[in-house]
Amino acid sequence: MNMMEQIISLALFEDAGLGDITSESILSASRQGTGVIIAKQDCVLAGAGVAGKTFHMLDPSMDIRMLYLDGDFVQKGSVVLEAAGDLLCLLKGERVALNFLQRLSGIATLTNTYMQALEHPRVRLTDTRKTTPGWRLLEKQAVRAGGGSNHRFSLFDGILIKDNHIAVAGGIAAAVGAVQKKASHLMKIEVEVSDMDQVKQALSVGADVIMLDNMSCAAMKQAVDFIDGRAVVEASGNVCLETLNDIAATGVDLISCGALTHQAQAVDLSMQIFPGPNKTQQ
């Protein structure tokens, strides 16, 4: 079982692992039906494959028809997905599939809003690790569906020396030195800084990437000019639609934005279920 299947399995158990009293009382025998998921607002879709897999895990013979794929723009009123199969499985999977689609499409839609607003195409907009516990794989896929990029997935696949690491190590030089002794030469070292003195320290000890954390735009511009291409420069902190282009205009290479995942609003989607085959709504 892969990670996506584990996430779905946990969600299904949370919702109906001990049974579905209502649906099982109404359906005393196996019956066939069709369900359609409809967009109730314009959005950028994400999670289509997860929703389809949710129904397949309940009924492997379920016939799933994807009318849109992740990254597609969906207009209000459009049918996103059709599923035909066991009625009880459709009823059990409805809320779980919608939860995945609504949350992930919300992230994709918000990310797309940021990407459309970004006036500096050379600047890459990335997510952070500020994700829903257990959902990181899915939420980072949703960011990509919206046109954004991913930062490191977790603590094992990227070196980022943050303020607490610096405090524990006894300074930037000590922290970078310790990492250089143990990490592969193939891995880049990123250091989080908050002022020009730390920028100079990070650059002097060979940081590959310097993260300017919660610095003013004027200070970021000064840092970018000082670094002068000797390291990749990332901006982080206080990133929102109103500040996005001011930050990008400082000349940074990357902007990481936690809001893409932790401030996204769920998209409005609904599911209609029809008893009997071939009763989908177009």
- For the segment 113-140, what is each residue's pLDDT rounded down to a tens digit? 999 999 999 999 999 999 999 999 999 9
> What integer is the mean pLDDT of 170-187?
95
Pull the structure tokens for residue 5: 């299947």
Nearest to 258 by CA among 235, 281, 228, 231: 235
DSSP-derived secondary structure letter, 245: H
For residue 1, the model assigns a pLDDT of: 79
Contact yes or no for 152/234 (Cβ under 8 A): no
Task: State whether the Cα torsion 63-138-45-107 is positive or negative.
Answer: positive
Going by pLDDT thresholds of 50, 70 and 90, the confidence category of residue 195 is very high
Work out the burial of residue 229: count CB atoms within 10 Å of its CB; fewer than 13 is exposed, 13-18 middle, 19 or more buried: exposed
Mean per-residue pLDDT for 37-56?
A: 98
Listed in sequence order, the DSSP H helices in the chain are 3-16, 21-26, 48-58, 87-117, 136-145, 163-169, 172-182, 196-204, 217-227, 244-248, 259-262
Strand pairing of 232-236 and 254-256?
parallel
Give me the percent of the chain exceeding a pLDDT of 90: 95
Intrachain domains 3-107+265-275 and 115-262 with the same fold: no
pLDDT (tens digit, 9 = 90+) per residue, 225-236? 999 999 999 999
Q: Which fold has domain 115-262?
A: TIM Barrel (3.20.20)
Pairing mode, if any, of strands 73-74 and 269-275?
unpaired
What confidence tier does 277 reach under pLDDT thresholds 50, 70, 90? low
Q: 282 pLDDT band (50/70/90 cuts)?
A: very low
- pLDDT tier at 47 (50, 70, 90 boundaries)? very high
Cα–Cα dist 89/105, whole Å: 23
CA 128 – CA 173 distance, rounded (Å): 25
Domain 3-107+265-275 CATH assignment equals 3.40.50.1980: no
Give which of 116, 143, 122 is closest to 257, Cα–Cα: 143
Is 153's pLDDT higher than 50? yes
| Domain boundaries of the chain, sorted by first residue | 3-107+265-275, 115-262
Active-site residues, by number, are: 95, 130, 162, 192, 213
Task: Quote the pLDDT of residue 278.
Answer: 53
SS3 191: strand
